[in-house]
Amino acid sequence: MLGHHYTQSFLETAVASVNAGCNLELSYGMKNNVFMRIPQALAMGNITLQMLRDRVRPLFYTRMRLGEFDPPAMNPYSSLDLSVVQSPEHRNLSLEAAVKSFVLLKNVRGTLPLRAQDLSSQHFAVVGPFADNPRVLFGDYAPVPEPQYIYTPRRGLEMLGANVSFAAGCKEPWCRRYSRAELVRVVGAADVVLVCLGTGVDVETEAKDRSDLSLPGHQLELLQDAVQ
């Protein structure tokens, strides 16, 4: 609220937030956060002790229900490791969720889905900064992934036995340096071309927004060259 000029100080922000019902401040990395002013607001009479109790009660009730204050031995999740989290059942469920979340905007001549029998008989070109760069495939707030479980578009097709050629065109999502010759060489010999473009956390995250929806850098040029 201070950043948006709704209030003029951390003290005012704390008072307004508590009065509005806010009982939790997400202030990761801040040594001197807004809610540190609550004792001062209480001493000045801007908020009451009963109001603080009303705000704190549901917060700690939820934390207690989640088992945050239980001994580790009582927490059934403490015994889980990667053998459970990365079990075939869980990975298959994640794959199913990913497949069902795809949005197909246009399917000219029924090109998709690709048929399994065509994977070995056709030559695929996988191009773009997202074609084989595991690091850029995860969005904001994503957990740290296990490298062995990351399948880039290139790796995924190769695992299915497809005949794949690859060219990034540009090495990172900003695509400031673009090699058209590299792209044209790979695309020109292909039967099917998969162009992998996007933004990723290098370009936009929370508190790092873009002013427009254009593809970054030379990505649009890369796409046009692949189509032509």
Q: Is 50 left (phi over 0), alpha (psi -120 to 50) or beta?
A: alpha
Per-residue pLDDT at 50: 95
Rounding to the nearest 10 degrees, give the CA dihedral for residues 87, 196, 198, 150.
Answer: 20
Instruction: For the chain, give the number of residues.
Output: 228
Tell me what pLDDT residue 119 has. Answer: 87
Look up tokens 């996007």; give the residue.
198
Q: What is the mean pLDDT of residues 102-109?
A: 86
The amino acid that residue 152 corresponds to is T
Is the pLDDT at 72 greater than 90? The verdict is no
Give me the pLDDT at residue 86, please.
87
- Residue 21 is given by DSSP the state T
Q: Are 132 and 155 in contact (CB under 8 A)?
A: yes
User: Tell me: the pLDDT tens digits for 38-58?
Assistant: 999 999 999 999 999 999 999
Tally the C-alpha atoms within 13 A of residue 181's C-alpha that lie toward its C-beta.
0
The structure tokens listed for 69 are: 């204050």
Band (pLDDT 50/70/90 cuts) for residue 176 is very high
Does 191 score more than 90 pLDDT?
A: yes
* SS3 call for 93: helix
| Cβ 114 vs Cβ 192: under 8 Å | yes
Q: What is the pLDDT of residue 102?
A: 85
The phi, psi pair for 127, rounded to 5°, reads -130, 160
Domains of the chain, CATH where assigned: 10-74 (no CATH), 105-226 (3.40.50.1700)
Alpha carbon separation from 145 to 19, 86, 136, 206 (Å, rounded): 40, 11, 12, 20
Cβ neighbours of residue 194 under 8 Å, at least 6 residues apart? 124, 125, 126, 127, 131, 153, 157
Residue closest to 127 by CA, chosen among 180, 187, 188, 198: 187
Cα–Cα nearest to 163, from 126, 111, 127: 126
Among 107-111, 132-136, 141-145, 223-227, the minimum mean pLDDT is found in: 141-145
Q: What is the pLDDT of residues 7-19, one digit of tens each?
A: 999 999 999 999 9
Q: Predicted confidence band at 69 (pLDDT cuts at 50, 70, 90)?
A: very high
The answer, yes or no, to whether residue 105 has pLDDT greater than 80, is yes
Task: Give me the residues paired with residue 166 across strands.
Answer: 126
94: pLDDT strictly greater than 80: yes
pLDDT band at 165 (very low <50, low <70, confident <90, very high): very high
- pLDDT tens digits, one per residue of 115-131: 888 888 899 999 999 99
Q: What is the β-pairing status of strands 192-195 and 123-127?
A: parallel
pLDDT(3) > 80: no
